Amino acid sequence: MATTLLIANRGEIAVRVIRACREMGIGAVAVYSDCDRNAMHVRMADRAVHIGPSPASESYLRIDAIVDAAKRTGASMVHPGYGFLAENEDFAQACLDAGLTFVGPRPDAIARMGSKTRAREVAVEAGVPVVPGTGAPFDADVSDAVIARAAEAIGFPLVVKAVSGGGGKGMRTVTAAADLVSAVRTARSEALSAFGDAAVYLERRLTAPRHIEIQLLADEHGTVVPFVERECSIQRRHQKVVEESPSTVLDERTRHAMADCAAKVARAVGYTNAGTIEFLYDADGKFYFLEMNTRLQVEHPVTEAVTGVDLVQWQIRIARGERLTVSPERALTPRAHAIECRIYAEDPDQGFLPSPGLVRALATPSGPGIRDDRGVAPGFDIPVFYDSMIAKLIVSGDTRADAIARLGRALDEYRVAGVKTTLPFFRWLIRQAEFVEGRFNTQYLDRVLVERKGLRFVEARPADDDDAAVAAALAAWFDAHHAAADAPVPSTGAWRRAGRLDALR
């Protein structure tokens, strides 16, 4: 009987896993919430199971409903994607208890590396350098005074981090002692609602670090293969926005040193399947273990583009007990330069305010060196319940300059009709000297965004206004003369009329 795999996720990553299943002759089961009935991942799956109402806590985060869906559809494997339950050891355990193969690491590895403070301990024991900070976490009941004393010892600026955090949630930078209490409060509360754990710890903030990470695969027979690094320093509020590989700053020797450290951490916990070790790379060329992501990363296609290795297929093969046969040399040798942009339904000209709504039509780039990993099809109403990613655009070229030129071309071909997207922001970003010359760190983007003071990323020229006036008049003309045929559906007005954004901080 053919294998069937259930994807406990939605959006582009569910689509990505379905594609791997198709290529491997594996049946794909999607799960969906109320608002996702018409979502692309449901339309593409072989079978689909409704698992609850739209809020994630009542659907994509419900372990019982997902395990039940796997049983009902005869799935033998479960792929968690990223986000939602991907780093929840209880979910991994529940899958195992139900006799399902979890496509990911063992629950104990998730638990150990999922706690940022315990992960730091693992790195220290493995002889891998870590950023100075508090050793033990502060539970929810630790007083402000105790935290303040620890903060003084580390010094400012520092970062308050949720032990169970990720993706910038439950994380706040503090530059002065006066802001510590409110930062801890927000970080705790955000972490409690997102991860169910209010424990936080403190870490020194390096002055101008780059975020560089090492993807790795590890099989169940002791083989660990680290891959060429990904550079993810272009971040907005700790969220990666652009990722590329290789990094412009790592030399061959440092790449191998970092890869060795990553493999050491993975071996120290007997890690299996796909994972990523994140490092901070300081201006002086030193690097420090930051954390481990015990799952597939959003930016995995960048690595696939430069090495030609299909990471998702390997995840499934490793979970089936196969031996990892990717050669270490191939994994560490980039054969192209790749860049990924995360395209969100957000209005960059209004402080990246989420802009969900109906995607009326799409034009997507194609041609040489383009990959469009998308989870949204025309006619889909991007819900307010989840993150508003539309697609990841990945381009590759022989050199970084080739890749940037190709990215510019592809961004102009990409059109999402109906909602505001971050496309104009990327068109601006790739023309900035700092980006083109690779002169950036994790603070670069937040700094220039503050400096721009809300200036529009792309200003309409008078000629654009003329064209827009003509197009709007033509649209009105067709409305008046041929209204019924295919009148566009107005999207919700609430988002456009957003209130005082400058009151947001």
Partner 1 sequence: MTFEVDTNGRVRAVVIEAEGAASPSGGRFKIQLTGDADRVRSVVDCRRTELGFSLVFDDGRVVDVAATATGPGEWLLQFPHVDVTAAVDRRRRERAPSGGAAAAGEQRIKAPMPGRIVRVLVKAGDDVAVRQGLVVVEAMKMENELASPKAGRVKEVAVTEGMSVEGGRLLVVIE
- Comparing CB distances to partner 1, the nearer of 145 and 480 is 480
Among 194, 208, 377, 448, binds partner 1 (CB under 8 A): 194
Q: CB 172: neighbour CB atoms within 10 A?
A: 23
Q: CB 333: neighbour CB atoms within 10 A?
A: 15
Provide the minimum distance between the beta carbon of 166 and partner 1 in the complex, in angstroms, as a whole number.
11
Could you write out the DSSP letters of every residue in 103-169? SS--HHHHHHHHSHHHHHHHHHHTT--B--B-SSPBPTT--HHHHHHHHHHH-SSEEEEEEEEETTE
Residues 416-455 binding partner 1 (CB under 8 A) are 416-418, 420, 424, 427
> Nearest-CA neighbor of 288 among 253, 252, 254?
254
Considering 295, 317, 374, 400, which one is annotated as catalytic?
Answer: 295
Provide the minimum distance between the beta carbon of 463 and partner 1 in the complex, in angstroms, as a whole number.
10
| Identity of the amino acid at 160 | V
Among 126, 181, 353, 377, binds partner 1 (CB under 8 A): 353
Q: Is residue 144 near partner 1 by the rule CB under 8 A?
A: no
CA distances from 91 to 34, 108, 354, 370, 391 (A): 22, 12, 30, 35, 27
Provide the minimum distance between the beta carbon of 267 and partner 1 in the complex, in angstroms, as a whole number.
34
CA distances from 254 to 100, 248, 267, 314, 329 (A): 40, 12, 20, 26, 15
Provide the minimum distance between the beta carbon of 84 and partner 1 in the complex, in angstroms, as a whole number.
11
Q: What is the DSSP letter of 322?
A: P
CA distances from 65 to 78, 87, 212, 232, 477 (A): 13, 17, 37, 35, 50
What are the backbone angles phi and psi of residue 339, rounded to the nearest 5°? -135, 140
Residues 70-89 binding partner 1 (CB under 8 A) are none
Q: Is residue 361 near partner 1 by the rule CB under 8 A?
A: yes
Residues 364-393 binding partner 1 (CB under 8 A) are 378, 384, 386-388
**Using alpha carbons only, what angle is made at residue 311 by residues 405 and 26, rounded to the nearest 5 degrees?**
120
Provide the minimum distance between the beta carbon of 247 and partner 1 in the complex, in angstroms, as a whole number.
28
Q: Is 431 a catalytic residue?
A: no
Instruction: Answer whether 35's CB lies under 8 Å from 385's CB.
Output: yes
> Nearest-CA neighbor of 289 among 168, 110, 118, 153?
118
| Stretch touching partner 1 by CB under 8 A, among 250-258, 308-316, 433-441, 485-493 | 485-493
Among 136, 177, 363, 401, binds partner 1 (CB under 8 A): 363
Q: What is the total count of residues that contact partner 1 (CB under 8 A)?
A: 72
Provide the minimum distance between the beta carbon of 326 and partner 1 in the complex, in angstroms, as a whole number.
34
Among 72, 221, 267, 482, binds partner 1 (CB under 8 A): 482
- Comparing CB distances to partner 1, the nearer of 157 and 383 is 383
- Comparing CB distances to partner 1, the nearer of 153 and 474 is 474
Q: What is the DSSP letter of 10?
A: -
Q: Is residue 257 near partner 1 by the rule CB under 8 A?
A: no
- Comparing CB distances to partner 1, the nearer of 212 and 376 is 376
Among 146, 401, 455, 501, binds partner 1 (CB under 8 A): 501
Active centre residues (catalytic)? 295
